[in-house]
Structure 1
Amino acid sequence: MDKVCEACKTLPPIVDQDSYKEKGGYEDVNGFNCYIAAPQPTPETGILFVYDIFGYFKQTLQGADILALTDPGHVVVMPDFFFGKVRSHLIELLHISTC
């Protein structure tokens, strides 16, 4: 039995996967490839962005960009905990249908 959230059935994606341009960039931090969104060169605080099992997607990157741009005093760091591999076997194990 597949579980599909009601929002997936009725709401369009927040961002067009093909057209969104990331505002941040990528850096190696202690062996982790990290997406870093920092709107100013000397931010005062940091946010560690931990995403779900779906990994880096345009919507995830956009979320990091929104956090960084909403208050320019923050730098947002999002490490690639899955080393570029989406955890699709977990999705199958949980019998979840994705949008």
Structure 2
Amino acid sequence: MRQPERERPTWTFLTHHARVLLEIARNPEVRLREVASGIGITERTVQIIVNDLRAAGYLDRERVGRRNRYSLNTELRFRYPTEADVPVRRLIDMFADRR
């Protein structure tokens, strides 16, 4: 259940990039519009994030008819030096099946 705007925290532990990755992990055929609505950012921001994640090798996109299907490279490591030895799979395993 989403919190009303005035009750939302002013900061969060997960970045928008992490949240987009998790939404795609939960549903590889999700529409970017649905991701944007689910995490409270614009569809354009989600498109930019997906392009960032694709360029870095964290996900691939395949056209299936008029839709996209995403696949994740979960063995890639986090980018920040202090987490660089941890695969993103750990984040996905921790959060992707929760809702």
TM bucket (normalised to shorter chain) is under 0.3
Q: TM-score, normalised by structure 2?
A: 0.24
Which has the larger strand fraction? 1
Q: TM-score, normalised by structure 1?
A: 0.24
Which has the larger helix fraction? 2
- Pair member with larger Rg: 1
